[in-house]
Amino acid sequence: MKRKKERKKPRNGIYFHSDIDFALSDDEFPATYFIRVLVAAAASLAAVFMTESFLETEFIVTANVQIFLSVIFTAVSVRLISSRFIFFKLFGSGYLILNAVFLISRTESAVTGMLFAVYSYTKKARMSIPFFSSYASLSTQEDINACFLTVTFLLALMISIACVYKTNFPLLFIFTFPIFELGAFWGWEPWSWTIGGMLLAWTTMLSLNLINHTTKKKKSKSTFAVYPKKNSFYLTSDAIKLKFFTVGALFAAVTAMTAFSLSVIFAGAISAPRAFRS
């Protein structure tokens, strides 16, 4: 009796066997991850410089160039770690480890700068003076820079995990909204571009999250999910969707940038009512 030959799974197309599967031989479009790296960088820079803008009347940070480079390198490193090439994984991991070791070596200076930042925050908010105010007053410009570089690295790492390693809007919102709330609670006005950057990142990542929404069951190996009521199949594979939603990601990014650009233009052209200004 001849054994029935099992059909080989195609490199491209839909495969029907004991289940339904869908295969694509091409890798993810670079534009997909490029957009997510940009969103992570925009959210990180907006969060860090928003914090700086809230306290600009109390002290000045002189390490803005290092902050910018740290955000870019951290976002790119997280992207390299998620790559399938070992060399890129090692390169990304190496940068993150070396940067973490460098910042750990400056822990004492960063803690002193953090105490001074907290003291400045309580002073501007007219809260009770903390017990460590005398120690915080001894901080130097180097301590303040070390504090902001450490906060920048941690924020950029967490935001990059939410935006690049994963496509998770709730995580991004959890990591960034408290920064905005720290100043908004007291009615402090941040730099306008930080508001636009943060809202742009929220809108774009929420769009990507909705586009890439999955309903796949944990134990199911199928690329599709069945919707019995409509007798339909829905594509639920994360890997396959990454190869398809580049157009959707570009559309979401362009729409968000256009919307917030128009809002900034109209906000500058239209004056607020006298009742609000008073």
What average pLDDT does the chain have? 78
Arithmetic mean of pLDDT, 64-86: 92
Residue 6 belongs to some domain of the structure: no
Residue 2 belongs to some domain of the structure: no
**Which band of pLDDT confidence, cut at 50, 70 and 90, is reported for residue 80?**
very high
**Which band of pLDDT confidence, cut at 50, 70 and 90, is reported for residue 142?**
very high
Residue 206 belongs to some domain of the structure: yes
In the chain, the number of structural domains is 1
Specify the higher pLDDT residue, 69 or 17. Answer: 69
Quick check: 19 pLDDT over 90? Answer: no
Highest mean pLDDT among 102-111, 129-138, 232-241, 257-266: 102-111
Residue 275 belongs to some domain of the structure: no
**Residue 214: which of 184, 196, 236 has the closest Cα?**
236
- Per-residue pLDDT of 127-137, as tens digits, reads 888 878 777 77
Quick check: 223 pLDDT over 70? Answer: no
Residue 8 belongs to some domain of the structure: no
- Per-residue pLDDT of 38-74, as tens digits, reads 899 999 999 999 999 998 878 888 899 999 999 999 9
Residue 4 belongs to some domain of the structure: no
| Residue 82 CB partners (closer than 8 Å, separation 6+) | 33, 164, 165
Specify the higher pLDDT residue, 107 or 208. Answer: 107
Q: Mean pLDDT lowest for which of 34-43, 184-193, 252-261? A: 252-261
Specify the higher pLDDT residue, 33 or 109. Answer: 109
**Residue 51: which of 67, 66, 40 has the closest Cα?**
67
- Print the domain residue range for 158: 13-270
Residue 252 belongs to some domain of the structure: yes
